[in-house]
Amino acid sequence: MKRYCHISLFRVGFLLMISLLLRNPLIYVLSFAYLLAFNIYDAIAYAMALFISSFLFLRNDLLPIGIVDYERNGYFVVNKFLYKVKTYGDGLKAGDVILFDDRFNDYASLAERTKGIIYVGNFRGKVIFSLMPKALIYQLIESFDLEISSLYCNMFYGFYDDYSQFYSFSLAFGGYYLTKTLIKRNRTIGTSAIIFLSLLFCFDIRYFLLLIDSYFHMERKELLGLKMIIIGIMNYSLYENTSIQFILFASFIGVVDTEFDFRTLFALFQSVLFGSFDVLHLFLYRHLLITRVLIYLLALFGLLFRPFQSLMIQSIALSDKVFALLSFEIRGSISLFSIIIFHILRKMISIRADLLLIMLLILSPFNRPFFSNIYIDVGQGDAILFNCPFSACHVLYDTGSQFNYHKLKKKLLKEGIYEIDYLVISHSDNDHSGNIENLRKDFKVKRIIDEKESFAIGGIEFNNLDLGAFDNENDNSLVYDVSYHEHHILLTGDISSKAEAVLVKRYPDFSINILKVSHHGSSTSSSRLFVSRIMPKHSIISTSGQYGHPDQNTIDILKQYQSIYHITKEDGDIAFVFTNICDYLKTSKGDFVIIK
């Protein structure tokens, strides 16, 4: 094996990626010790890469220059070549080359980081010049009708929200597979295509990885390690970018000896990343990729020749019909329990490994034997899921707004949900009830509760706490005490301190384990009287940080009464799992805490 200074780049890169994702000092020490046992050069390379990555990350946004990719909803996405930043300001337009006066210090949300946006801040700087081709192309795309403009923005800018559907994700990958094919045939032509597409649209980190593949001549395994190291040093938040995860996983499949074929592992990856996979994609994935590349080419020609646009639309519509006709979706993300069962069955019975893995993916929703309570990160809104043991039933309290439906849908798919037994709507505000129709379209909603009513299902009791009638919508929110064995969870909607005072007066001996903090942690709720009476062990604040939520006074009150608080903006999805042995909390950020 060809190595640089006798260093195993794959081993160093893989452990560096795991370490930076988990960000745990114990993992750092164990990884260093493991590499030291193999080779002192590996251990030194790992320590240096870890130090450089951490040092650069602590310096926050390092690059002082960037190019505006596009504008959306009042903010601009600026491409700094290795990562993106989201900035607010006036007088900017697509194609502007910007010199920033200072660095961005605010970290982007987890959902934004999956798209490569690392930092957020207000624009302070100056426009040096404008890349006219890029500006003209963006203006041209914006001038198209809404349907065509949306498709172009999807393919050329990654300008979409719905990562929950593999369809949208694969459509945006058309340009990547085109350039990958070109660079394999001819490195010069492929590199020229990357430069051309970058000048017209935006430089994508995926192109950078393609250039590494093309210009570094080493074994594929070592090449994958080099990419993992470079990504970690540039900015370890890039590991959370969905596109990079996809590429690294595909590269990993190519270098690791396994009894599974590529299609099976591809289905597994879809399951883990998107929460579902389609059996059709399992057998026709190459045809799917070719279709996406052809659509991308039609889109390029359509910029200059309008007839190609209608051809593109017809091609998408035809492929949609074909795939919809033959589609068979399997929902659920494979769990640790499923992996354990897989290894047990492999030793007990003689069956092809790929068939067994697919069978476990199909049965994965039923491989969750415990009651769980999940606070889904839907931005500025509430969506709280209750799963009965073995996925026997599901209750959803509020839906979030339609602007964040992609987050809700992705999580429900990952939980393997086809039916929602009860959909409880606390009140009619959009950030609590905005996705009723979307849920009806994608899931079978058996019953909707929007009035005061208690019910029980799967051993879980939902006791409505009647606080009387108020003169505003927020205080009339449906409030529930959810009980499962000795556990009590309080759902409060958007009630204010006025309604909270009524609650503690009518239910004086009330105590709970988990509090869904009312009104996203605003100053109008979570009074000192209320928190001191119910004494929640854990408090969940569901917010994107909009409107100054959560209020610092709310945080101070929760701290004063020793309630451990969690914020979806920082932690992503927050799940409590209750087992017969212990109860634990886990977040999509990677935290895992045994709470009992």
Instruction: Write out pLDDT tens, residues 452-503.
Output: 999 999 999 999 999 999 989 999 999 999 999 889 999 999 999 999 999 9
Give the DSSP per-residue string, 301-342. Answer: HHHH-THHHHHHHHHHHHHHHHHHHH--EEE----HHHHHHH
Give the DSSP per-residue string, 539-575. Answer: EEE---SGGGPSPHHHHHHHHHTT-EEEEHHHH-SEE
Beta partners for residue 52, in sequence order: none
Is residue 491 within 8 A of residue 480, CB to CB? The reply is yes
Which residue reads 């909603």 in tokens? 445
The letter for the amino acid at 320 is: D
Distance in angstroms (rounded) separating the CA atoms of residues 131 and 11: 41
Residue 164 confidence (pLDDT) above 50: no
pLDDT for res 1: 42
Buried b (16+ CB within 10 A) or exposed e, 172-195: bbbbbbbbbebbeeeeeebbebbe
pLDDT for res 492: 95
- Is the sign of the CA dihedral 17, 26, 257, 331 positive or negative? negative
Buried b (16+ CB within 10 A) or exposed e, 434-457: bbeebbeebbebeebbeeeeebee
Q: Lowest mean pLDDT of 72-86, 373-387, 537-551, name the range.
A: 72-86
Alpha-carbon distance values, 200 to 146, 195, 226, 345, 495 (Å): 20, 9, 29, 52, 50
Residue 262 confidence (pLDDT) above 80: no
pLDDT for res 573: 94
pLDDT 10s digits, 111-161: 777 778 888 888 888 899 888 888 888 888 888 888 788 778 877 887 655
pLDDT for res 433: 94
pLDDT for res 3: 46
pLDDT for res 82: 76
In terms of pLDDT, which residue wins out, 341 or 573? 573
Binned at pLDDT 50, 70 and 90, residue 243 comes out as confident
Alpha-carbon distance values, 419 to 120, 326, 386, 404, 492 (Å): 37, 22, 13, 20, 24
Q: Are strands 422-424 and 394-397 parallel, antiparallel or unpaired?
A: parallel
| Residues contacting 489, CB < 8 A, separation 6+ | 373, 481, 482, 483, 512, 513, 514, 515, 516
pLDDT 10s digits, 2-15: 444 467 888 999 99
Three-state SS annotation for 400-423: CCHHHHHHHHHHHHHCCCCEECEE
pLDDT for res 436: 96
Three-state SS annotation for 353-408: HHHHHHHHHHHHHHCCCCEEEEECCCCCCCCEEEECHHHCCEEEECCCCHHHHHHH
pLDDT for res 367: 67
Q: Average pLDDT, stretch 320-346?
A: 73
Residue 543 confidence (pLDDT) above 90: yes
Distance in angstroms (rounded) separating the CA atoms of residues 573 and 589: 8
In terms of pLDDT, which residue wins out, 389 or 344? 389
- What's the mean per-residue pLDDT of the chain? 84
Segment (H or E) for 272 = helix 262-274
pLDDT for res 588: 84
Is residue 414 within 8 A of residue 275, CB to CB? The reply is yes
Beta partners for residue 595, in sequence order: none
pLDDT for res 57: 66
Residue 435 confidence (pLDDT) above 90: yes
Q: Lowest mean pLDDT of 152-166, 285-299, 517-531, 533-547, name the range.
A: 152-166
61: helix, coil or strand?
A: coil
pLDDT for res 465: 94
Alpha-carbon distance values, 194 to 26, 178, 205, 234, 292 (Å): 41, 10, 11, 20, 17
**Of all residues in the chain, what percent carry a pLDDT higher than 90?**
33
Residue 216 confidence (pLDDT) above 60: yes
The letter for the amino acid at 62 is: L
Find how far residue 589's CA is from the centre of its chain: 10
In terms of pLDDT, which residue wins out, 391 or 218? 391
Residue 377 confidence (pLDDT) above 70: yes
**Of all residues in the chain, what percent carry a pLDDT higher than 70?**
91
Binned at pLDDT 50, 70 and 90, residue 48 comes out as very high
